[in-house]
Structure 1
């Protein structure tokens, strides 16, 4: 690790000389030696940049650099870096004890506390020190880049440069244009992001940018489902993991990120969009936060934890019950018909169900009650089954308010007959997986509609930043834009809540038969 730098970097070209951020020798300043800041230092040093690290805490920068040096040695010991690579990266970064030591930097990235006043004050100090062609970048995740830059003498050289934690692992960075940002500055940051080994995507300065904006549907819709009493939180998690393919469910994720982090973000984005219904939080997380039930780090959130390990919630065993026969709605997909044929109960192929048949519908966006009423079925012996997603890992059976316990148990026993677990939920327009995935796709469509980012960048950013089973626009194409539109329109009609109104981007492409990734000329 180098010693403290002071003054201008040797060999810097004269002020005003255009720099190629993809290839030129660059000196980077990083303000903030916390986890995010040091993650940026690590990837920059490994990419060959000289890095100066400042932290307002006495000794903070030195401690961060020492810890990073240990990390690089550990990466070498694990075979991730050669001895030469580890030594070279360690030699490229050093702590500095005063902001003045960043005077000769080509780029300064701040990674300090998420407080607008603190960021504005820092950039005002930096502007008095650095050259006029030095780029000032903020790693803010939720604040307005425009507001950070507005009071500066040269706001055009300020942009967002939002990394995700842990920076060396999360290989995406958002380069954000404020209203006053020179487009060339953002282009330079895109080049720098790629140089640092990340996928760099471009976004307009809007609340949440791309990734945090696109992620609003997962947790908030899961909370909405819970608030309606449709299913317990652990059942929502199981369905979204096993049926829709998410790595973790929304309640597991909120426990991991902790509600003292995730709830303020939910409220902030909701308020910044002037109470946009699509992003509406639920009161439960505010109550849990007040009670200190913030998640894994507190030992209790939605789940309980022992030594950091989530305590399992047992599933109820499948009832030992079967119907005499199964009648399937005429629009039931072939996959459901084929499944029932393997479960040992005869199919009732009559135009109307026999008196001893379980009636099964397969809604797309509707609730079971609506389907039963439309088909004139006996609600006491009717259930719905999720069929838009994978039927091999878990099945979802949805009752009507009139379904009797005996018929519910018969349906549960039937669909668990081959050993696949079954989750039984109460009536819901869109079941669970349909409504969550449709909400995610719809929000991504509206990000595209608002021209916050290109469709390709939206999917790239979400793929790398959120690790969903599929990027949202591609997922909408997989399900079919018309299918997603139908789910949303039916939920909107049932609830009367503008939360579910379809984005114009989705509606037009569904009507025209276009891909949701199709941009306009």
Structure 2
């Protein structure tokens, strides 16, 4: 179904959090020609965010301009010129037409942020959370802009992954949803609409899938290696559930499944996995620690 463009694009976006997700969101936003401010808690964090974005842009530019170092550098410099890094939350919020939150996946931290910047931002400014597992509505209700609040769930690594889930609550206005959809298209992503529910579309299907893969191993049905091979060759998946879990982070998987299980203890698809608990307790969290369900070498 075709969606009519709002023809009212965001000219300045503020991204809270300059880590992997926030930095990626800022990068693709600036690459689309939109001015963006990255907000961090310290100047050192601002410097680290700028360095990470510059390195990512350089990799992209070298690929796009493999035989022309001058053009590659110019492309990096042009995009970086559209990104401002600051610790001044009031200034960043007051300038923004869209605020995207990409901080820690913790509802108390997110709500504390929204309460604080709600008073700083222009009344027409739209707020969007990049949460992957938390309620968008629970965040919106701590602000005065329920109709101007939605979700923009990006996937990691942001510069590479094409999908964005545009999440609507019962209060999100059609105008807000359309603007978030159009913004996603403008920055080169393919957006899909989803109603606010646990995990939205992708994670609602993916988390139970990875949990059930663990239960297969716990029941002695198969090894992680055989499960991965079976899903790659039998279902056409690019990677199996255990390789995927290592990539996402086994601790992230536990955090989400524990949260959902606590909210719906009678729902069997959210039941925690003993295998995941053991991996997290042992500090074997996946690629980021060098070992999860598999071992990794740099």
TM-score when normalising by structure 1: 0.52
- Which residue of structure 2 lines up, in the alignment, with residue 46 of structure 1? 31
In the alignment, structure 1 residue 192 sits paired with structure 2 residue 183: yes
The answer as to whether partners of 1:33 and 1:61 remain within 8 angstroms in 2 is yes
Per-residue deviation, residues 240-267 of structure 1 (Å, max 9, x unmatched)? 2223322222222222323112122222
- Which residue of structure 1 lines up, in the alignment, with residue 149 of structure 2? 158
Matches within 5 A, 1:81-230: 82-83=71-72, 84-102=74-92, 103-230=94-221
The answer as to whether partners of 2:17 and 2:39 remain within 8 angstroms in 1 is yes
C-alpha distance in 2 between matches for 1:112 and 1:80: 33
Per-residue deviation, residues 313-341 of structure 1 (Å, max 9, x unmatched)? xxxxxxxxxxxxxxxxxxxxxxxxxxxxx
- Which residue of structure 1 lines up, in the alignment, with residue 228 of structure 2? 237
Report how far residue 175 of structure 1 moved. 1.1
Give the 3-state SS of the residue equivalent to 1:181 in structure 2: coil
C-alpha distance in 2 between matches for 1:231 and 1:70: 41
Q: Which has the higher helix share?
A: 2
Q: Decide which structure has the larger Cα Rg and report it.
A: 1
Per-residue deviation, residues 213-253 of structure 1 (Å, max 9, x unmatched)? 01134312212222222222222222222233222222222
1:177–1:278 distance in 2 versus 1, CA, 3 Å: same
Work out which structure has the larger RCO, using CA pairs closer than 8 Å and 6 or more positions apart in sequence.
2
**Which aligned runs of 4 or more in structure 1 are off by greater than 4 angstroms?**
20-23, 80-84
Per-residue deviation, residues 278-319 of structure 1 (Å, max 9, x unmatched)? 3333222112221223333334333334x24xxxxxxxxxxx
Give the 3-state SS of the residue equivalent to 1:130 in structure 2: coil
C-alpha distance in 1 between matches for 2:25 and 2:220: 43
1:74–1:235 distance in 2 versus 1, CA, 3 Å: closer
1:296–1:148 distance in 2 versus 1, CA, 3 Å: same
The answer as to whether partners of 2:265 and 2:271 remain within 8 angstroms in 1 is no
Matches within 5 A, 1:398-437: none
In the alignment, structure 1 residue 275 sits paired with structure 2 residue 240: no
Q: CA RMSD in A?
A: 2.2
- Which residue of structure 2 lines up, in the alignment, with residue 59 of structure 1? 44
In the alignment, structure 1 residue 31 sits paired with structure 2 residue 21: no
C-alpha distance in 1 between matches for 2:99 and 2:186: 16
Give the 3-state SS of the residue equivalent to 2:117 in structure 1: helix
Give the 3-state SS of the residue equivalent to 1:78 in structure 2: helix
In the alignment, structure 1 residue 302 sits paired with structure 2 residue 287: no
Per-residue deviation, residues 446-483 of structure 1 (Å, max 9, x unmatched)? xxxxxxxxxxxxxxxxxxxxxxxxxxxxxxxxxxxxxx
Report how far residue 123 of structure 1 moved. 1.3
C-alpha distance in 2 between matches for 1:258 and 1:269: 17
C-alpha distance in 2 between matches for 1:198 and 1:22: 17
- Which residue of structure 1 lines up, in the alignment, with residue 62 of structure 2? 77
Per-residue deviation, residues 474-499 of structure 1 (Å, max 9, x unmatched)? xxxxxxxxxxxxxxxxxxxxxxxxxx
1:97–1:282 distance in 2 versus 1, CA, 3 Å: closer
Give the 3-state SS of the residue equivalent to 1:59 in structure 2: helix
The answer as to whether partners of 2:227 and 2:240 remain within 8 angstroms in 1 is yes
Give the 3-state SS of the residue equivalent to 2:48 in structure 1: helix
Give the 3-state SS of the residue equivalent to 2:235 in structure 1: coil
